[in-house]
Chain A
Amino acid sequence: KAGVTQTPRYLIKTRGQQVTLSCSPISGHRSVSWYQQTPGQGLQFLFEYFSETQRNKGNFPGRFSGRQFSNSRSEMNVSTLELGDSALYLCASSLAGTGETQYFGPGTRLLVL
């Protein structure tokens, strides 16, 4: 069974631009969560989608948004990029998301200049 895939793997943007990241979960998994990883803050939860609905949200500004499609694939968008948004963005999938094992993708490394 294929694992979680994320595209693109690397991205360089400039301040003020916007970016869209994509995540394809493991086949059959309906829950997709997004995390931001930085050296200073570690891994922080952004949001979770289940059956095309945002079910849970972390403490990030409204510039961070996401969506999930009917095939469970998910995208996250960051508008008006700031230097501090440079991070590894990780996507994790699970069957239904409630206390279950979450499997992570390789991440998208975003650099904002």
Chain B
Amino acid sequence: QKEVEQDPGPLSVPEGAIVSLNCTYSNSAFQYFMWYRQYSRKGPELLMYTYSSGNKEDGRFTAQVDKSSKYISLFIRDSQPSDSATYLCAMIRTSGSRLTFGEGTQLTVNP
């Protein structure tokens, strides 16, 4: 069983839709949670970084962490065609440095 599970999609939505992306994890040692966006043939770009349970908002993006359920989410409001990319969840153990990634969800936002 993978430590981090993420539905690979693909996910296709119309422009302006609210997008919900999710990951579950099995190891409670994970304490730091990140979402990266990766365009085709590019390196991952950090979108959100969270530590504690709860919500964190940045513009159209909201990251949600529920440590009790071992579940993290990324919401994208008013999605744009430029949001079309692969979204990767990643997490780090306490005092660690190794990122453990989900498989990535491929998102397409249609104009």
Binding site for B on A (CB under 8 A): 4, 31, 33, 35, 42-45, 48, 50, 55-56, 58, 90, 92, 94, 97-107, 109
Contacts and interface: CB of A to CB of B under 8 A. Distances in A.
- Give the interface size bracket for B toward A: 20 to 34
B44 A99 contact: no
Nearest to A45: B98
B99 interface: yes
B43 A104 contact: yes
Interface of B: 31-32, 34, 36, 41-46, 49, 51, 88, 90, 92, 94-104
Name the residue among B34, B44, B88 with the largest chain A CB count within 10 angstroms.
Answer: B44
Given A42-B103, A42-B104, A99-B92, A33 B34 contact: no
A26 B41 CA distance: 21
